[in-house]
Structure 1
Amino acid sequence: MLAFQYDKSFEGLLCAVFDAFEQKKMPDCLLAHNELVPLLVSDTHYVEVRNSKYERVQVALNKKLSHVALNQLKYVWLSELPESDLVIFRYICKVFKSKHAIETDFGDPDVLTVHDIAKKVSRERHHLMQFVRFNTIENPIDNTNDGQNEKIYFSVIAPIYNALPLVLDFFKDRYADQKWAIYDEKRKYGYFYDLDKLEKISLVDHEELIVDNKVNQRYLTKDEQLFQTLWHRYFNALSIKERENPKLQRQQMPKRFWHNLPEMKGK
């Protein structure tokens, strides 16, 4: 049983594909460099990451696959599901071995798995586009204006899959004239938009900004607190208790997003 050890990056995975074809050896499992090797593994190969290797594989993939299929592989990688890298690895190898396009060959288990996982990640992407709620806070990330913290729009998320990179362009276009930040509490990273560029951030020095997976209320501006109160009252005034359908509501608006929605406080 052969195992490939690589750095668990997408570039490293493409380098593993390169090594497999160069050495004419197909691994049975893919492991991180520091991961324990299973007992059944009799041989291991260390994958060295080099630009020339993964760029060559990437160029070949761009020629062999459609834009939709390339996006599906990206989505599967961001799913972070167990052995998703091995599924991508086998899929890419089949692409290069086949004389015909395999994108719609759903009789192949790897093609079907890529399609199904990508669909789930895409659904999570749409959920983020729908249910991300920004709070106006005093900006602890970018201290300007003579020591006075400026106001920015801030949102906390914890998606099932690592879908934040998939919605950055959407929010950048939609809020191009505002400074905002979206932070993935589950994965401990986020992005800050400063009206010019997106910057990856961490809140290691500002852990108090998030409490119970949502924005700490003491960081909200007074206008934000008032707005949330008014919106909550407006929502309750419009709702008709006799016509409430909790089951349909949960289907259209997954409950795991409710704690970030002002109108759902107390639900």
Structure 2
Amino acid sequence: MIIFTYDKTFDGLLSCVFFAYEQKKFPDFILSESDQKPLFVDEQYRIITEKEKSLRVWKALEKKLSKIAQNMMLSVWLSELPETEMLLFRYIRKNIDHPEGVEMNFGDDDVLRIKEIAQKVAKEAEQLRQFVRFQETADGIYFAPVSPRYDVLSLIVSHFQSRYAGQPWIIYDTNRNTGLYYDTRSVVEVSFSQKDLSDLRLGVLDEEKLSSDETFFQQMWKEYFKSTTIKERINLKLQRQHMPRRYWRYLTEMQ
């Protein structure tokens, strides 16, 4: 059994691919340093991330794969599923080794799984675009906590940059304790303390942190939502299909 350990980055994964072909050593598991290791290991290698080597692997893939397939790979990476590393490693290896590549061979289990995960990640990103609710803070920044299943902030940032180009905002992933801050010019990554994170996970900012108008507007929105609801037509099952319950915590109208 051969194990690779790496730094849990996409460049690190591509560096694992480079090492495997360079040394003719192909792993049974690719794990981070903190992951639990199997009991019986024949060989273990710690792979150092090297940008130059990862770039060489990616350039080789660009020659073999369409843009759609490349984006699917990146979406699978953002899923953060336990199977991600070895699934992507096998997919990359099959495309490198096969003269024509295998990206359209949906009879292959790995190709099919790549497509399935990529579709789930894309759906999560689309739902997040719909369900983000900003709250105006006292310092004029529009803040939106979210808790996506997958790490999809990078997939939605361009949408909000374009739609809200003239206002500063933060979209914050409370599951991963990281967010994106847009100052009307550029986007940077931000993070909060664990104490602040506990408050953010409640979904509602304290009144003293909100602008003078925000509470009023939130109440108006709730009243509008309530007044347009036809009680006789309430269908909670259908509602949950279109608006999954895990998003409700951060939806003003559902609080």
Q: Which TM-score bucket, shorter chain as reference?
A: over 0.9
CA deviation map 1:19-53 (0-9, x unaligned): 11111121100121344431121111121221221
- Report what 2:41 is aligned to: 41
The counterpart of 2:241, out of the listed 247, 251, 256, is 251
Q: TM-score, normalised by structure 2?
A: 0.95
Instruction: Specify whether residues 260 and 118 from structure 1 end up closer, same or farther in structure 2 by C-alpha distance, changes over 3 A only.
Output: same
Q: What amino acid is aligned across from residue 230 of structure 1 in structure 2?
A: M
The counterpart of 2:170, out of the listed 177, 181, 206, is 181
User: Are 1:132 and 2:132 matched, yes or no?
Assistant: yes
User: Are 1:19 and 2:19 matched, yes or no?
Assistant: yes
Gaps of 5+ in 2: none
* CA RMSD, 1 decimal: 1.5
The counterpart of 1:240, out of the listed 230, 246, 254, is 230
Q: What amino acid is aligned across from residue 261 of structure 1 in structure 2?
A: L
Find the residue that maps to 2:105 and give its secondary structure: coil
Instruction: Specify whether residues 211 and 96 from structure 1 end up closer, same or farther in structure 2 by C-alpha distance, changes over 3 A only.
Output: closer
User: Are 1:162 and 2:162 matched, yes or no?
Assistant: no
Q: What amino acid is aligned across from residue 61 of structure 1 in structure 2?
A: L
**Percent identity for Structure 1 against Structure 2:** 44
Q: Deviating runs (4+, > 2 A) in structure 1?
A: 33-37, 208-213
Question: Structure 1 CA distance, aligned partners of 2:112 and 2:243?
Answer: 27
Which structure 2 residues correspond to residues 53-132 of structure 1 after superposition, within 5 A? Answer: 53-132=53-132
Question: Structure 2 CA distance, aligned partners of 1:208 and 1:126?
Answer: 24
Gaps of 5+ in 1: 139-149
Question: Structure 2 CA distance, aligned partners of 1:158 and 1:208?
Answer: 12
The counterpart of 1:210, out of the listed 184, 199, 209, is 199
Instruction: Specify whether residues 204 and 10 from structure 1 end up closer, same or farther in structure 2 by C-alpha distance, changes over 3 A only.
Output: same
Instruction: Specify whether residues 205 and 85 from structure 1 end up closer, same or farther in structure 2 by C-alpha distance, changes over 3 A only.
Output: closer
User: Greater share of strand residues, 1 or 2?
Assistant: 1
**1:119 Cα offset (Å):** 0.6
Q: TM-score, normalised by structure 1?
A: 0.91
Instruction: Specify whether residues 206 and 38 from structure 1 end up closer, same or farther in structure 2 by C-alpha distance, changes over 3 A only.
Output: closer
Contact 1:156/1:213 (<8 A) preserved: no
Contact 1:13/1:85 (<8 A) preserved: yes
Contact 2:174/2:197 (<8 A) preserved: no
**1:94 Cα offset (Å):** 0.5
